[in-house]
Amino acid sequence: MAGMSKRPFWMHQIVEYILGGSMIAAGLQSPTPVVPSVVGAIIMLNAAITSGPLSAFRVLDRRVHRVIDVVVIAIEMVAAVQPWIDLDTGTRGIVLIIAVVHLFVWWNTNYAMRVKQAPVSAEGGRSSEIGRIAGRVVGHGVNAVRRPRGDDR
């Protein structure tokens, strides 16, 4: 695992939107649509409210999202095996498969925020000196062309 790189957070968000949409679609095709539709909405809401490139509302920090993901995955697992609300066998399987995929995505995601780098400063450096010299040369050249010539008219 030491050499394995994690996926960027925007990929995580895309997959959560896809998983949530798939769960809702599975619910719409199921004779018992309540459980998969609600769980799909929870997955999509979790992706939408987390600070990230694809978020609709930047309410939660990524570290908080990481913890909430565990709770959402647990809800998905419980929804797949719970005996209280009627759920057909095919839909149970889909909910369980989506929970396993979500767990895999959670495990392989880099939740770190991208650090913005400070802009490069040319103050006092050799490049700013060369730039000033070049600017003066161009300025002097433009001024020389614009100046009227004395006796050449």
Within 10 Å of residue 101's Cβ, how many Cβ atoms? 16
Residue 89 in domain: yes
> How confident is the model at residue 127, as a pLDDT?
75
Residue 132 in domain: no
Residue 100 in domain: yes
Residue 1 in domain: no
How many domains, in total, are found in the chain?
1
Question: Is 136's pLDDT higher than 70?
Answer: yes
Residue 128 in domain: no
Total number of residues shown for the chain: 153
- For residues 37 and 24, the answer to whether their CB atoms sit within 8 Å is yes
**25-66 confidence digits (pLDDT tens):** 999 999 989 999 999 999 999 999 998 888 888 899 999 999
Residue 139 in domain: no
Residue 112 in domain: no
Which helix H or strand E contains 77, and what residues bound it?
Answer: helix 62-81
- For residues 87 and 32, the answer to whether their CB atoms sit within 8 Å is yes
**124-134 confidence digits (pLDDT tens):** 677 777 888 88
> How confident is the model at residue 3, as a pLDDT?
54
Q: Which tops the pLDDT comparison, 24 or 5?
A: 24
Of the pLDDT bands very low, low, confident and very high (cuts 50, 70, 90), residue 120 is low
Of the pLDDT bands very low, low, confident and very high (cuts 50, 70, 90), residue 152 is low
**65-101 confidence digits (pLDDT tens):** 999 999 999 999 999 999 998 889 999 999 999 999 9
Residue 127 in domain: no
Structural domain boundaries enclosing 95: 9-107
pTM of the model: 0.71
